[in-house]
Chains A and B, each alone.
Chain A
Amino acid sequence: MKRKPGALLPIEQAILAAGLDLRRKGTDEFHGFAVAKRMQDIGEAHQLTAYGTLYKALGRMETAGLLASSWEKADVALEAGRPRRRLYRVTGAGEKALATHRAEAGRAIAGPRRGLASS
């Protein structure tokens, strides 16, 4: 099914919300597991998001310009004794898309309430 231009899927909203939450806490860039964990912690997901679902969504969002990514330098990972991380950050477009989505969702909820109050 073709989706409306600019519309966000639930997982994309959750990733953007978690990414921006991490940024507020001082972490501008995040790797896959970190964002999955954050999504769970802030209640955007009940469990850690499945690998396939998470990385497919991250790739799609990067293509759409909502996220940008870069690979960590090899020597940094080597020094820390772990595999290299692919680090994502929420772009301005991603931040705007989430704000627009939330505003529209807010209007959709407020609309029927206003209708009920006036009747």
Chain B
Amino acid sequence: MNPERPIADLVVSAWVRIYTLGLDAGQGSDRRAEIESDLWEHRNSAASEGMAASFSIVGRWLAGIPADLSWRASQSGNRIQQARETVMKNALGNYWQGLAAVAAAATGYMGIRQFFTDEVAAGVNAGKVAGLVVLVGAGLLVLAGLAVHRTNPRSGALLVMLGVLPMAALGGFGVGLLIGLVMSLAGDLGWWWVPLGIASAVATAAGIGAFGAWWHASPKVAATGPRSLILPLAFIGAGVLAAGTGVGLGGFTGPLVVFGALLTAVGAGLWTRHVRISSSRDA
């Protein structure tokens, strides 16, 4: 503390220090430096006269207290908001991609395993082939989404969301895990459902994380280079495969044909968008 400084100035300085306490270095120090500069300019201005200047300074301080407090409240609000967004983004960024990879592996495995168990003795039927195509296709879709996410965050996250959907749905979006646990503990269900329940919960969590990433990603990141063709090609490829399998098998694979047609339509739409963006950029 400078003993030669007028009390009015010391009071104002102390007040500024109090209401900027705990703010980020930039915000707090900027405000303190501005007020210190103002006090100095006031004391050294031509119109400044001892006691009159002190009264003016105290008056300016008192009259500005409500604005100081409201400014401080708004700064704290901004900080809390920023902290929340950072925590959200970091949390989403860290966990969902790993979960999606696990969900992709589990989904693919679920599709294939039916051909390597006792069930195969019952014969290969259209339903099993459809299950294979859907689950393996979904797993590949998740992997493609993770790859695309690096260059095109929104589209990549969308692919992951679509890919984890079958596995998440198979176990009731994770709810099956809880129901299974309760029923098994009651003693009349056994534990056969555990891998499916866990896989479903993992797929659901990955889907939620992918949704968060999709929500936070900038919509303007869409690339227009050749790599951006991966996404429409993945959709069209998966769609043609699914629809072709469905048509070839006939019988009760109608939903598979519709699913394949939908995927193909989405792929065609993405391709059209890519062409439109590329041509507008070249124009």
Contact flags (1/0) for B55-96 with A, using CB distance below 8 Å? 010011111111111110000000000000000000000000
Picked from B31, B38, B59, B71, the residue with its CB within 8 Å of the CB of A33 is: B38
Interface of B is mostly: helix
Asked if A59 is at the interface (CB within 8 A of a chain B CB), the reply is: yes
| Complex contact B34–A55 (CB within 8 A) | yes
Asked if B40 is at the interface (CB within 8 A of a chain A CB), the reply is: yes
Picked from A47, A52, A85, the residue with its CB within 8 Å of the CB of B59 is: A47
Known contacts: A31-B37, A47-B59. The answer to whether A86 contacts B64 by CB under 8 A is no
| Complex contact B45–A52 (CB within 8 A) | no
| Complex contact A84–B56 (CB within 8 A) | no
| Complex contact B38–A51 (CB within 8 A) | yes
| Complex contact B64–A50 (CB within 8 A) | yes
| Interface size band for B | 20 to 34
Cα(A50)–Cα(B71), bound, Å: 13
Asked if A48 is at the interface (CB within 8 A of a chain B CB), the reply is: yes
Query: Min CB distance, A40 to chain B, in Å?
Result: 9
Asked if A83 is at the interface (CB within 8 A of a chain B CB), the reply is: yes
Contact flags (1/0) for B40-53 with A, using CB distance below 8 Å? 11101101000000
Cα(A49)–Cα(B38), bound, Å: 11
Asked if A24 is at the interface (CB within 8 A of a chain B CB), the reply is: no
Asked if A56 is at the interface (CB within 8 A of a chain B CB), the reply is: yes
Chain A residue numbers with a CB within 8 Å of B35 are 51, 55
Chain A residue numbers with a CB within 8 Å of B37 are 31-33, 82-86
